[in-house]
Amino acid sequence: MIRPRFACLRVVWVVSALVVAFWLWASPRPAFAQGPTRTVAVHLFEWRWEDIALECEQFLGPKGFAAVQVSPPQEHAIVTSSDGGPYPWWQRYQPVSYQLVSRSGDRQAFIDMVQRCHAAGVDVYVDAVINHMTGQESGVGSAGSTYTHYDYPNYAPWDFHYCGTPGNEIQSYSDRYQVQNCELVNLADLNTGSEYVRNTIAAYLNDLVSIGVDGFRIDAAKHMNTNDIAAILARVNGSPYIYQEVIEAAGEPITGDEYFQNGDVTEFDYSTSLGNVFLHGQLSWLSSFGEAWGFMPSDKALVFVDNHDNQRGHGGGGDVVTYKNGTLYDLANVFMLAWPYGYPRIMSSYEFSHRDQGPPSYSDGTTKPVHNPDGSLNCFGAEWKCEHRWRPIANMVEFRNVTAPAFYVSNWWTDGYNQIAFGRGDLGFVVINRDTSKWLSQTLQTGMPAGTYCDVISGERNGSSCTGNTITVNADGTASFSVPPMSAVAIHANSKVSNSVAVTFDVYATTYWGQNVYVVGNIPALGSWNTAQAVPLSASAYPRWRGTVQLPANTWVEYKYIKKDGGSVVWESGGNRTFTTPSGGSLTRTDTWR
C-alpha cells in the first residue's frame, strides 16, 4: 500500500487552494512538494514533543519517513506506583481530560512539533484514547484536573457504560456485549453510543485536526462498536488517516474486518507470525507471507514487527522479535520494509527490564531528552534505543519508498531454509541470510538494470561513492552475493553508484603449459593491483586470452597483464595501460603482451 506524502496538505486545501498553488510554484519548494512517495511510519514511544520536532528535522524528514505516531497527548492520570516503579508508561492510557498537557509536553510544544514535522515533510499521527477514562478511584491529572473514577472535567457519571458484571469488568471475551460495554482492566468505559460523548470526543479530535494532526490510531477500537467509531469520525473535519487497534483472537466474536468501514486496522497476526518465523522457523516459509496466511487485505493492514504492548507482554503479548534480539531485529525489519504487504510502522523503544517501567526519566519523574542539550544523541545505549536509526532499518525506509511503484515480489529465491532473496521489479533487490553459521554465496537474478549499486545495509550512497559494500549487477541482471551469517544486503534504484560497462580484455600472449594470463588493475573489479585478485582470462582462442568484466562507467582505468603458474607471477614490461570507460554499453581492449 502506498501512503501519499501529501496528506499534510489537506488542511491547507481547506484554507485555500491558491496557497497550495503558490507553494507548488514558489522556489525553493517545500520539502513535501517533491520527491518520491513516503510509505513508512515510526512510533516514537514516550518521546517528548521537543525531541520529536528535532527528530523530524534531523532524521525522519531527510530519511523519507511518511509519518510519526506520538504517544497519547491528552491529560492523563499520574500513577505514583506500579510493579515497574513510579509513573508507568501506561498511565498515559488513562485520560483525565483532553487538555494537551502530558508527560511529553504542553500544548504549545505539541503545536510546535506538528508544524516543524510538517515543514520536514513528516505527518503526525496521534494515539487517540477515546474508549475510556481512568482506572483510578480518584486523583489529579497531568494538567492539574481533579477527578474520580466516573467524574471528570468533561464527563459525569451518566456518560459511562455500566454493564452489570461484578465491578463492571469484562469477564468474557467471547461475549461481544461485554467486550464493548464493560470495563477493560477497570478503565471507566465511556458510553460511546451517546450524543454527548460522541460530540465531546469529536471535539477533541477536531482540536487536533485544527492543529494539523494528519491521522489517528484509535486505541482499544475493539472495545467500541464500529458504528460508534463511525459516528464519532463523521463529526471529524477533513479526512485524517485512521488506523484502529483491534487485537483479533481465535474464538472471539469481534473481528478486524468490522472496522474497515472506518479505516485501516492493525494486523497483529503479522507481528506474531513474523516473530514465529524469525525466532523459531525458517525464512523459506515467507514466500507467500500476506493474505495467503489469513491476514487482512494488504491495503487495510497496519503492520509492525513489534509494538509498544507486545514487546513487553502487554496487549495480547506474543512471541515477537524486539530490540532485545539485536541483529535478528534488524533482519525482521529489513524483511518487513522490503516485503510488499501493509503499511509498516517501525517501533522505537526505550530499554526496559520490567513490563510496566516508564521511559528514561529523572528522579522527579520527568522524561529525559533523546536529543541532549549539547546536540548529542541519547540513543542506542541503556536508555532510548532509537531502533529507527539503526542503519539497516533506517536505510530500508528509502528502499520501500523507491520500490513502491513495484508493489509485488519478483525473482524469489531461497536455499530452502533460512536464506532468502527477492526483488521488487527492476527497482530493488534484497538478500537476507538468517542462518547463524552458513554464508550465502550465490549468483542471483536481481531483475535490476546493470550497474554498480551501494548496499544500503552496510553503508549508504554518497554521490557517486558508497560508504559500504558495492554490488555489481551484470548486463543480464545477475549479481553475485557473498553474505555473512545473520546479515543482509539490499540495493535499489536510488542506491546506484554508477552504470557499468562490459569491458572485454583480449590479449595476444604465448605461455608454457601450466601458465595462465590474468588482467589486474587499479579498481576493485580488477583486483586493485592485488595479483591474488586478478581476473583470469580464457585460453579458448589461444594464443589470444580473453575475458569480460563489468567496470564502472566514466572511470579512469589502469591495468596490466600478468602470467601466473601457481607459484610465480610474471608482469608484462612497460608502463600501465590506461583508458577511461564510456558512460555505458561495452568495449574491447585488444592488446599484445609486452
Q: What is the DSSP letter of 366?
A: P
219 an active-site residue?
yes
Q: What is the DSSP letter of 58?
A: I
Please, are residues 579 and 505 in contact by the beta-carbon 8 Å criterion?
Answer: no
DSSP 295-343: PPPGGGEEE-S--TTGGGT-TT--S---GGGTHHHHHHHHHHHHS-SSE
Q: How many Cβ atoms from other residues are within 10 Å of residue 57's Cβ? A: 15
Please give the single-letter amino acid code of residue 423.
G
Q: How far is the CB of 244 from ligand LAG (least distance, A)?
A: 9
Using CA atoms, how far residue 352 sits from 21, 52, 238, in Å, is: 48, 20, 38
Stretch that binds Ca ion, among 216-224, 357-365, 407-415, 422-430 (CB under 5 A): 216-224
Pick between residue 314 and residue 391 the one whose CB is nearest to ligand LAG.
314
Stretch that binds ligand LAG, among 90-98, 459-467, 532-540, 550-558 (CB under 6 A): 90-98
Q: How far is the CB of 177 from Ca ion (least distance, A)?
A: 10
DSSP β-bridge partners for residue 477: none
Question: Which of Ca ion, ligand LAG, none is residue 273 near (CB under 5 to 8 Å by kind)?
Answer: none
Stretch that binds Ca ion, among 180-188, 307-315, 409-417, 503-511 (CB under 5 A): 180-188
Spatial CA neighbour of 254 closest among 227, 233, 223: 223
> Residue of minimal CB distance from Ca ion?
223
DSSP β-bridge partners for residue 429: 423, 491
Stretch that binds Ca ion, among 189-197, 282-290, 408-416, 460-468 (CB under 5 A): 189-197
Instruction: Give phi and psi for 372, each to the nearest 5.
Output: -65, 155
534: CB partners within 8 A, 6+ apart: 518, 519, 520, 526, 527, 562, 564
What angle, rounded to 10 degrees, do the helices at 327-338 and 268-280 form? 130
Q: CA 219 from chain center: how many Å?
A: 21
Please, are residues 267 and 303 in contact by the beta-carbon 8 Å criterion?
Answer: yes
Question: Which of ligand LAG, Ca ion, none is residue 189 near (CB under 5 to 8 Å by kind)?
Answer: Ca ion
Please give the single-letter amino acid code of residue 265.
V
C-alpha cell at 401: 519508498
Q: How far is the CB of 435 from ligand LAG (least distance, A)?
A: 35
Question: Which of Ca ion, ligand LAG, none is residue 97 near (CB under 5 to 8 Å by kind)?
Answer: none
Q: How far is the CB of 187 from ligand LAG (least distance, A)?
A: 6
Question: Which of Ca ion, ligand LAG, none is residue 390 near (CB under 5 to 8 Å by kind)?
Answer: none
Instruction: Give phi and psi for 278, each to the nearest 5.
Output: -75, -30
Q: Is 314 in the site for ligand LAG (CB under 6 A)?
A: yes
Residue among 116, 223, 312, 434 that touches Ca ion (CB under 5 A)? 223
Determine the Cα–Cα distance for residues 9 and 257; give it in Å rounded to an integer.
29
Residue among 61, 105, 121, 135 that touches ligand LAG (CB under 6 A)? 135
Catalytic hit among 46, 183, 219, 455: 219
Determine the Cα–Cα distance for residues 312 and 354; give it in Å rounded to an integer.
8
Question: Which of ligand LAG, Ca ion, none is residue 90 near (CB under 5 to 8 Å by kind)?
Answer: ligand LAG
Q: Is 183 in the site for ligand LAG (CB under 6 A)?
A: no
Q: Is 90 in the site for ligand LAG (CB under 6 A)?
A: yes
Stretch that binds ligand LAG, among 179-187, 361-369, 479-487, 543-551 (CB under 6 A): 179-187
Each residue 420-439 as x (binds Ca ion by CB under 5 A) or -, in order, gives --------------------
Spatial CA neighbour of 73 closest among 41, 112, 116, 121: 112
Q: Is 315 in the site for ligand LAG (CB under 6 A)?
A: yes
Q: Is 307 in the site for Ca ion (CB under 5 A)?
A: no
Pick between residue 131 and residue 495 the one whose CB is nearest to Ca ion.
131
Q: Is 131 in the site for Ca ion (CB under 5 A)?
A: yes
Catalytic hit among 228, 245, 356, 455: 245
C-alpha cell at 96: 483525565
Please, are residues 547 and 536 in contact by the beta-carbon 8 Å criterion?
Answer: yes
Residue among 45, 49, 59, 93 that touches ligand LAG (CB under 6 A)? 93
245 an active-site residue?
yes
Q: How many Cβ atoms from other residues are within 10 Å of residue 115's Cβ? A: 15
Pick between residue 136 and residue 474 the one whose CB is nearest to ligand LAG.
136
Q: CA 469 from chain center: how many Å?
A: 22
Q: Is 84 in the site for ligand LAG (CB under 6 A)?
A: no
Spatial CA neighbour of 136 closest among 83, 81, 98: 81
Pick between residue 40 and residue 79 the one whose CB is nearest to ligand LAG.
79
Pick between residue 248 and residue 460 the one whose CB is nearest to ligand LAG.
248
Q: Is 129 in the site for ligand LAG (CB under 6 A)?
A: yes
Q: How far is the CB of 278 from ligand LAG (least distance, A)?
A: 23
Residues annotated as catalytic are 219, 245
**Interface residues toward ligand LAG, by CB under 6 A:** 90-91, 93-94, 129, 135, 184-187, 219-220, 245, 309, 314-315
